[in-house]
Amino acid sequence: MRVLIIGAGSMGRGIARRLASGNNTITLFDVDPAKSEAVASDLGGSRPGGARVAIAETPSEAVPENDITILASWYAANLDVARKLGQELDGRIVVDISNPLNETYDGLVTPPGTSAAETIRSVLPQGAKLVKAFNTTFAATLLTGHVGGQPLDVFIAGDDEHARQSVIELVRSGGLNPVDVGELKRARELEALGFLGITLQGRLGTNFMSGWKLMIPAHA
């Protein structure tokens, strides 16, 4: 698949690494072009033969050329990017990965009964297909794709069936384990889970190297 990643920070790097291992074509955009360059050069050494990595000068030029656009920055920036791209995202699959933390990192800025993903959805054109994914996987764990020998679970929520399935396929291509949690409103629980994972790091001393795993009976 052809994937545009907007935001080449820790998560952009981790997601790009996994997707490159699945031979997807990746385009990076960051407000700081040096960060896109750094991720691209890092991938240059690790990507298998078929994967290609490009750098976009603007998100607008790259959106139409890609199957999926991943908003890989902070919630406020993702919301801003969504607003600015506006109609350019009509009909497009858009992935939000954010955990909408408050300034003191001890709560979420989104009121109960909503989510960052649904708020971003509300500023997009009707035809845009928003999917929540990757918000419960820490950046450093994405570099290898597993924790304790187990592939990372990536929880995926979205209202559009085709969009959700496309993201499931993308996640699987990167050696990760997709978990389809259904409608976009499940992002409320996913963002709470992402936040809980953050609060546990100091308590468990796991230094953002833990992951959430859904255990499934063998017959399911």
Ligand X SMILES: NC(=O)c1ccc[n+]([C@@H]2O[C@H](COP(=O)([O-])OP(=O)(O)OC[C@H]3O[C@@H](n4cnc5c(N)ncnc54)[C@H](OP(=O)(O)O)[C@@H]3O)[C@@H](O)[C@H]2O)c1
> Given the rule CB under 6 A, which residues bind ligand X?
6-12, 29-32, 35, 72-75, 77, 80-81, 97-99, 135, 138-139, 194, 208
Query: Looking at beta carbons only, is 75 or 155 nearer to ligand X?
Result: 75
Query: Looking at beta carbons only, is 161 or 204 nearer to ligand X?
Result: 204
Q: Are strands 153-158 and 177-182 parallel, antiparallel or unpaired?
A: parallel
Query: Looking at beta carbons only, is 39 or 163 nearer to ligand X?
Result: 39
Residue 36 has which token pair?
């896109």
Q: How far apart are CA 69 and CA 59, in angstroms?
A: 9
Residue 108 has which token pair?
């979420």
Query: Looking at beta carbons only, is 8 or 51 nearer to ligand X?
Result: 8
CB of 144 to ligand X, least distance (A): 13
CB of 192 to ligand X, least distance (A): 13
Query: Are residues 196 and 161 in contact, defined by beta-carbon separation less than 8 angstroms?
Result: no
Helix (H) or strand (E) holding 5: strand 2-6
CB atoms within 10 A of CB 142: 25
Helix (H) or strand (E) holding 130: strand 129-132
Query: Looking at beta carbons only, is 33 or 175 nearer to ligand X?
Result: 33
Name the residue number minimizing CB distance to ligand X: 9
Q: How far apart are CA 207 and CA 138, in angstroms?
A: 10
CB of 31 to ligand X, least distance (A): 4
Q: How far apart are CA 53 and CA 93, in angstroms?
A: 19
Q: For residue 56, which of 120, 1, 96, 8 has the smallest C-alpha distance?
A: 8
CB of 32 to ligand X, least distance (A): 5
CB of 143 to ligand X, least distance (A): 11
Residue 175 has which token pair?
């050696």
Query: Looking at beta carbons only, is 15 or 51 nearer to ligand X?
Result: 15
CB of 10 to ligand X, least distance (A): 4
